[in-house]
Amino acid sequence: MSTYDRALTVFSPDGHLFQVEYALEAVKKGACAIAAVSDDAVIIGVEKKSAAKLQDKRTVQKIYQIDDNISVAFAGLTADARVLIRKARTECQSYRLTFDEAPSISYVTRHIAGIQQKYTQSGGVRPFGISVLITGFDESGRPRVFKTDPSGTYSEWKAVVTGRNGHDVQEYLEKHYGEGENTSTDAVKTTVFNAIREMVESAEKNIEIAVVRPGKAFEFITDEELKQLNDEKNE
C-alpha cells in the first residue's frame, strides 16, 4: 500500500501513466458535473452532496466564475480544483493587464490543460485530481463548452459530463440532447436536469443548475423551478 506514496509520474511497461489514471479514479469518485450549450446560453448542472444540515450550501459550491464570460464546474478533489481555479483567475487578470482585452475561452482552456499536463511530467508533484468543464462564449457570443482531464487533454463538447456515473449520464445526454432539433435554453435545461436527476436522491437538495448568458450574472434556478422540472420528469 505504502508504495503508492513515493512516486513520480512515469510510464508503465504497457505505456500507461499510472498516476494520471489514479487521478482519474479520484475524478470518477467525485460528484458529477454537466455542461451544455443551448442556442444562446450555457447550462451547467452539478450534483450536490446533500449539504450537511448545518452546512452553508454556498461553500459546497462547484460552479466558479473565472473571468467575465468564463465559468467552470469540476469533478474530483475540491481542494485541487480551488487551486487550479485560482491559477486560472490569475492568468485571466494577467492577460487583461498585458493585452488589454479579455482572454478567449480557448486560451483559458489551453492554459488550464497545460497546467494539468505539466503536473504529469515533472518530478516532485502529483497530477491534479480533477476534470474541469470550462464554459463561456466566444467573441461572437456563441456559447461553448470544453472539458479537460487529469492528463491535460481537452476537447470541446455540445454537452458533456464528468464525475460519478459519467458513462451513464453521457449516454443519457447523447440520447436526449437536441431532441427534435430543439436546443433552446429551456429544452437543454430540462435535459441537463433529467440527466442528473436519475442518480440523485432529491432534486431540490442534490441538484444545482445555472444558466449563463454572455455578459450577465449566473442565473441559478430556483427551488420552485427544480420542483417543477422534477414534477414534469415524473409525469
**Phi, psi for residue 124 in degrees, rounded to 5:** 85, 0
Selected from 174, 186, 231, 232, the binder of a copy of itself by CB under 8 A is 174
Which value, in Å, is the radius of gyration of the alpha carbons in the chain?
18
116 forms part of the interface with a copy of itself (CB under 8 A): yes
154 forms part of the interface with a copy of itself (CB under 8 A): yes
82 forms part of the interface with a copy of itself (CB under 8 A): yes
**Residues forming beta bridges with residue 144, ordered by sequence position:** 136
181 forms part of the interface with a copy of itself (CB under 8 A): no
Which C-beta is closer to a copy of itself: that of 122 or that of 222?
A: 122
Whole-number Cα distances in Å, 2 to 6, 7, 225: 8, 10, 49
Selected from 89, 96, 126, 213, the binder of a copy of itself by CB under 8 A is 126
Pairing of strands 42-47, 207-212: antiparallel
Selected from 97, 98, 124, 215, the binder of a copy of itself by CB under 8 A is 124
Which C-beta is closer to a copy of itself: that of 93 or that of 216?
A: 93
For residue 122, what are the contacts with CB-CB under 8 A and spacing of at least 6?
A: none
Selected from 11, 97, 201, 217, the binder of a copy of itself by CB under 8 A is 11
16 forms part of the interface with a copy of itself (CB under 8 A): yes
Selected from 39, 50, 79, 94, the binder of a copy of itself by CB under 8 A is 79
Q: How far apart are CA 130 and CA 20, in angstroms?
A: 10
59 forms part of the interface with a copy of itself (CB under 8 A): yes
CB of 126 within 8 A of CB of 26?
no
Q: How far is the CB of 66 from a copy of itself (least distance, A)?
A: 15
Whole-number Cα distances in Å, 220 to 82, 143, 147, 177, 209: 20, 17, 21, 20, 6
Which C-beta is closer to a copy of itself: that of 159 or that of 212?
A: 159
Of 53, 149, 164, 141, whose CA–CA distance to 109 is shortest?
A: 149
Selected from 39, 50, 55, 218, the binder of a copy of itself by CB under 8 A is 55
98 forms part of the interface with a copy of itself (CB under 8 A): no
Which C-beta is closer to a copy of itself: that of 8 or that of 186?
A: 8
